[in-house]
Amino acid sequence: MNHSKSIVVKISGKWINPDKPEIIGGYARVLKKLHEEGYRIAVVVGGGRVAREYITAGRKLGLSEAMLDLMGIAATRLNAMLFTVILDDLAYQGVPRSLDEFMEAWSTGKIVICGGFQPGQSTNAVSALIAEAIGAKLLVNATTVQGLYDKDPNKHPDAKLIKEASVEETYRILIGEQHYAAGGYELMDPLSLMIIKRGKITVKIVYGGNPENVYKAVKGENPGTTIKPE
Ligand code: UTP
C-alpha cells in the first residue's frame, strides 16, 4: 500500500454541527476531490456543541468524568454518522468504535469516519492513533483557531501564531499546568503528542471554518501551523 497517500483529517465537532450544513457540504466536496486524486482518507470528528451541552448538564447532575466522557463520545459518533451518510458510497457506512473496528473498515478502501474511542482522551488522540496504525505521515487538524499560538489566543489578545513547531515546543505551550476533564481536552492532548512523536507524523493545524484549508494542507501548503515530529 502507498502510505504516502494515506492521510488523516481531524475536524473539530464545531464544524460538523447540524447548524452548519454549508460547512459540512464544503468538507464533503474537499474529501471527494482528494479521494478522486487517489488519497486514502480517514476522518475523525469531534463532539462540538452537542458534546459540551451534555457534559455540562451531566456534571451539574454529579456524573463521573468517565460517564461524561462516554456522553461526549456518543456526540462525536452522532456527528460522524451525519458525515458518513452525506458521503454516501464514498464512505464506509458505519462508525467504528475502536481501533480494531477502524482497521476492518479501512480494509474496504473507502473513506472511514469515526468519532471517539474511549474515555480519558480526545478525538485528537484518536486521530493520532489512526495515523500511526495506517502508516499515514500527515495528520491535518481542522480546528477552531488559525493554528498554534505561543499562548491561549482566547485569553490573550496579543498571542502570536507560530508557523512551525517541534513536538516538544507544542508540549510546553499546550500541556503546562492543565487539568484534563471531559469536554476540556486541548488542541492536542498528551497522548496525541506522544503518538505523533513516536509515529513520526507531521501535524498541520488549520482553521476548520474554511474546508479548503484542509485541501491546501494536504497539497503541501502551511495555512496554519506545522508541527514536525523531529
Ligand atoms: P473532543 O473534545 O475531542 O471534540 O470530543 P470537540 O468537542 O470537537 O473538540 P475539538 O474542537 O475537536 O477540540 C468531545 C468529548 O468526547 C470525549 C471527551 O470528553 C471529549 O472532550 N471523548 C472523545 C473521549 O472521552 N474519548 C475519545 O476518544 C474522544
DSSP per residue, 86-151 = HHGGGB-SS---SHHHHHHHHTTTSBEEE---STTS-HHHHHHHHHHHHT-SEEEEEESSSSEESS
212's grid cell: 479548503
Digit-coded pLDDT (tens) for 196-220:
999 999 999 999 999 999 999 999 9
27 C-beta closer than 6 A to ligand 1: no
Q: How confident is the model at residue 161 (pLDDT cuts 50, 70, 90)?
A: very high
CATH number for position 43? 3.40.1160.10
Digit-coded pLDDT (tens) for 139-150:
999 999 999 998
User: What distances in angstroms separate CA 42 from CA 10, 48, 121, 141, one per listed residue?
Assistant: 8, 19, 19, 12
Q: Which amino acid is at 30?
A: V
123 C-beta closer than 6 A to ligand 1: yes
Q: Ligand 1 pocket: which of 122, 148, 186 to mutate (most atoms <8 Å of CB)?
A: 122
Predicted confidence at residue 19, as pLDDT, reads: 82
47 C-beta closer than 6 A to ligand 1: yes
Query: Which residue's alpha carbon is at the smallest distance from atom 20 of ligand 1?
Result: 183
Question: Cα(183)–Cα(47) distance, rounded to whole angstroms?
Answer: 9
Predicted confidence at residue 77, as pLDDT, reads: 98
Predicted confidence at residue 3, as pLDDT, reads: 67
121 C-beta closer than 6 A to ligand 1: yes
Predicted confidence at residue 17, as pLDDT, reads: 80
Digit-coded pLDDT (tens) for 74-126:
999 999 999 999 999 999 999 999 999 999 999 999 999 999 999 999 999 99
Question: Cα(39)–Cα(136) distance, rounded to whole angstroms?
Answer: 11
Q: How confident is the model at residue 2 (pLDDT cuts 50, 70, 90)?
A: low
Burial 18-45 (b: 16+ CB within 10 A, else e): eeeeebbebbbebbeebbeeebbbbbbb
14 C-beta closer than 6 A to ligand 1: yes
Predicted confidence at residue 163, as pLDDT, reads: 97
Predicted confidence at residue 185, as pLDDT, reads: 67
pTM over 0.85: yes
Average pLDDT over residues 155-184: 84
Closest CA to 201 of 131, 133, 141: 131
- Name, in order, each residue with C-beta under 8 angstroms of 24's C-beta and a sequence gap of 6 or more: 15, 16, 82, 83, 86
Query: Which residue's alpha carbon is at the smallest distance from atom 28 of ligand 1?
Result: 116
pLDDT: which is higher, 148 or 183: 148
Number of domains making up the chain: 1
Ligand 1 atom nearest residue 52's Cα: 7
Predicted confidence at residue 156, as pLDDT, reads: 85
Ligand 1 atom nearest residue 11's Cα: 12
**How many whole angstroms from 122 Cα to the centroid of ligand 1?**
4
73 C-beta closer than 6 A to ligand 1: yes
Q: Is there a contact between 190 and 175 (Cβ–Cβ < 8 Å)?
A: yes
- Residue-range definition of the domain harbouring residue 7: 3-228
Residue reference for cell 501551523: 225
Q: Is there a contact between 8 and 124 (Cβ–Cβ < 8 Å)?
A: no
Percent of the chain past pLDDT 90, that is, above it, reads: 82
**How many whole angstroms from 46 Cα to the centroid of ligand 1?**
5
Is pLDDT of 183 > 90? no
Q: How confident is the model at residue 4 (pLDDT cuts 50, 70, 90)?
A: confident
Q: Ligand 1 pocket: which of 76, 78, 127 to mutate (most atoms <8 Å of CB)?
A: 76
